[in-house]
């Protein structure tokens, strides 16, 4: 990490100096703010953490609970989410504390005695080529604590306003802060109204924000119930510390997830089809009954539960809203969005696929940088239309996937002696897990061409960086200090675009591009970076050469790769990279980069690839940014 830019500072380097006006703890919630977030779940806190680094506008977050979450129900952190959290500097902390899911094992009825279960398969949970980050299990409350600490250390020292719930949201047709939010103290007291430019509802499945803007969750209930419990247990089941999909012949199924800390384990226990007349009774199933059901599934192994940290019963259901903002479909071209919803407020589904918390956080990671760009005057407000248009289809895909996933997980195993009874062949279940690996790792999102995503005519220049998908990192060596690292770890949750310029064989095209980016009035770096800002604060240019770092003279690098920053004009030496050959293949081979002509990979602030272009495609690059950026030149 980089620090000391504006002077030596003793103590925790992650505690950034407060921005002017934020030197003291935030005052009580003011009557007027720029951004008001409702709900401190994962989606709300990712958004708040991202916006907390921007001091040019006011962000506040309210929460109906009296304080931070202490026991969360979500626990799966997908590979893609760990990549995202790395941009906040949180991945190493999570990886140290979390349980790593490395493999999945499969159990089915023993062929010789179907009253017993036997292990029948074992696969990698996520193939190593998908991501350099692991699939983690960590309590939602702990993940949220990391985000809260990030906010508290940010330049704005943002902290939630607890004990306030949203009653209603009303949007005026005009005004600088047109959104009126009525808040009610949960411990009693008079209602009050706060006015905001933008409001984001991350207030859960019963969202008052969603209701206020007339959006509805639509979908189905599968009439199938599962019990879930986090337990401390003594057992002779050999795979208690490995993710396991367990099918019994007659007693139902279990999905077993080891939890962080080395001892805690989560069991999803199949309770079968729900009789609508007994729905309330099923939901009141006591933990002792869940334990008894789990013991039957695990036969001949024993399970002695010593403590229950949490238990619940839920019905599988999948619901989603048609849009994620307050703009009616027939007014998209004339009305700008002012209110947004994210996470459970606009999509709900089963828990076993581990996607809910992850997709919710990706919702607001998509939205946060767009809000910041608009509020700082770097992008036109029309940019905000892309939040709903990009994220609603992702949620719909999740719903469709979850229906398949839930159905196959609830199906009994096929009985070879009675194939007419149906069910799922255990080999089919294992194959489905493998085929779904990219999705469950959080890596299946592919945004189509649009305002922020270019077309694919030059995709062949960088075949491994698919336009519209997240930037797939690879190892490199940083030239200035010879450090081996991952290129994608250069990303920060700072709202900046990244231009990764991969050198051509002669470096002539690269050199010409870098000169143009630094000197030309038409360069997007010059057009869109305010005069008072650091030169890489809006568009961050980085170069990857084909030859060894030992062959590159740092003092001969182009100025755009040695930007002067901060109040002292210090030089940033961390913009230039060379291939890392320690594993036999360098980044050019791993990601299919054209070695002859090179390539320019344009990466959005949320780590998704906006475009792949030739190094000489300066006009196309300029036109791409001109779609949504505002020229700040005098």
pLDDT of residue 127: 59
Residues 6+ apart with CB under 8 A from 457: none
| Global pTM value | 0.95
At residue 66, the 3 state secondary structure works out as: coil
Exposed / middle / buried, residue 632 (Cβ in 10 Å: 0-12, 13-18, 19+): middle
- Mean pLDDT within 83-107: 95
Reported as a single tens digit per residue, the pLDDT across 308-339 is: 999 999 876 789 999 999 999 888 888 999 99
Residues 454/602, Cβ–Cβ less than 8 Å = yes
pLDDT of residue 360: 95
Give φ, ψ of 392 to 5 degrees. Answer: -65, -45
| Banded pLDDT at 271 (limits 50, 70, 90) | confident
CA 242 to each of CA 76, 97, 352, 413, 519: distance values in angstroms, whole numbers, following the listed order? 14, 17, 15, 21, 56
Higher pLDDT, residue 634 or 259: 259
How many whole angstroms separate alpha carbon 578 and alpha carbon 551?
10
How many whole angstroms separate alpha carbon 63 and alpha carbon 411?
39
How many whole angstroms separate alpha carbon 2 and alpha carbon 267?
42
CA dihedral 167, 151, 76, 464 (to 10 degrees): 120
- Mean pLDDT within 615-620: 98
Q: pLDDT exceeding 70 applies to what percent of the chain?
A: 98
pLDDT of residue 355: 76
Asked whether the predicted pLDDT for residue 217 surpasses 80, the reply is yes
Asked whether the predicted pLDDT for residue 627 surpasses 80, the reply is yes
Asked whether the predicted pLDDT for residue 353 surpasses 90, the reply is no
- Mean pLDDT within 521-537: 95
pLDDT of residue 128: 65
| Banded pLDDT at 177 (limits 50, 70, 90) | very high
Q: Give the bridge partners for 311, in sequence order.
A: 229
pLDDT of residue 553: 96
H helix intervals, 175-217: 208-212
């Amino acid at each position: 990490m980089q620090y000391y830019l504006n002077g030596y500072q003793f103590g925790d380097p992650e505690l950034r100096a407060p921005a002017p006006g934020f030197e003291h703890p935030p005052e009580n919630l003011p009557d007027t703010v720029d951004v008001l977030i409702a709900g401190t779940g994962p989606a709300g806190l990712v958004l708040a953490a991202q916006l907390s680094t921007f001091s040019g506008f006011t962000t506040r977050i309210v929460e109906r609970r009296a304080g931070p979450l202490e026991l969360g129900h979500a626990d799966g952190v997908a590979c893609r989410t760990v990549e995202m959290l790395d941009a906040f500097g949180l991945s190493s902390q999570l990886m140290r504390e979390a349980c790593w899911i490395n493999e999945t094992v499969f159990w089915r009825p023993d062929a010789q005695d179907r009253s017993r279960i036997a292990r029948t398969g074992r696969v990698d949970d996520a193939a190593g080529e998908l991501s350099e980050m692991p699939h983690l299990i960590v309590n939602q409350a702990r993940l949220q604590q990391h985000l809260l600490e990030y906010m508290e250390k940010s330049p704005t020292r943002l902290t939630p306003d607890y004990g306030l719930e949203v009653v209603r949201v009303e949007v005026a047709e005009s005004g600088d802060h047109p959104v009126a939010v009525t808040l009610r103290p949960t411990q009693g007291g008079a209602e009050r109204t706060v006015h905001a430019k933008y409001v984001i509802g991350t207030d859960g499945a019963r969202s008052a924000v969603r209701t206020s803007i007339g959006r509805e969750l639509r979908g189905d209930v599968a009439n199938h119930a599962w019990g879930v419990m986090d337990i401390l247990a003594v057992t002779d089941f050999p795979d208690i510390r490995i993710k396991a999909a367990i099918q019994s012949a007659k007693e139902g199924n279990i999905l077993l997830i080891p939890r962080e800390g080395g001892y805690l384990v989560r069991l999803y226990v199949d309770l079968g089809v729900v009789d609508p007349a007994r729905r309330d009774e099923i939901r009141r199933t006591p933990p002792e009954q869940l334990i008894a059901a789990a013991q039957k599934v695990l036969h001949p192994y024993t399970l002695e539960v010593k403590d229950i940290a949490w238990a619940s019963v839920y019905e599988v259901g999948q619901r989603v809203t048609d849009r994620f903002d307050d703009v009616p479909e027939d007014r998209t071209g004339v009305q700008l969005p002012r209110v947004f919803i994210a996470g459970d407020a606009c999509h709900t589904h089963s828990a076993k696929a581990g996607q809910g918390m992850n997709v919710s956080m990706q919702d607001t990671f998509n939205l946060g940088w767009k809000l910041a760009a608009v509020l700082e005057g770097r992008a036109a407000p029309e940019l905000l239309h892309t939040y709903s248009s990009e994220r609603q289809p992702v949620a719909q895909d999740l719903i469709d996937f979850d229906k398949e996933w839930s159905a196959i997980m609830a199906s009994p195993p096929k009985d070879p002696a009675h194939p007419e009874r149906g069910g799922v062949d255990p080999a089919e279940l294992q194959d489905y897990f493998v085929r779904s690996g990219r999705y469950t790792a959080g890596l299946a999102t592919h945004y189509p061409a649009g305002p922020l995503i270019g077309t694919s005519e030059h995709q062949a220049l960088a075949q491994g960086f698919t336009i519209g998908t997240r930037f797939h990192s690879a190892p490199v060596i940083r030239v200035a200090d010879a450090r081996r690292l991952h290129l994608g770890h250069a990303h920060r949750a700072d709202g900046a675009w990244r231009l990764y310029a991969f050198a051509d064989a002669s470096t002539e095209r690269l050199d010409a591009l870098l000169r143009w980016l630094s000197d030309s009035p038409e360069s997007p770096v010059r057009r869109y970076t305010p005069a008072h800002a650091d030169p890489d604060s809006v568009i961050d240019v980085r170069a990857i050469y084909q030859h060894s770092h030992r062959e590159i003279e740092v003092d001969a690098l182009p100025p755009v790769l040695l930007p002067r920053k901060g109040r002292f004009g210090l030089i940033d030496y961390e913009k230039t990279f060379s291939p890392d050959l320690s594993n036999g293949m360098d980044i050019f081979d791993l990601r299919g980069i054209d070695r002859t002509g090179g390539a320019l990979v344009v990466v959005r602030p949320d780590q998704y690839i906006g475009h792949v272009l030739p190094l000489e495609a300066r006009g196309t690059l300029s036109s791409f940014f001109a779609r949504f950026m505002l020229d700040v030149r005098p």
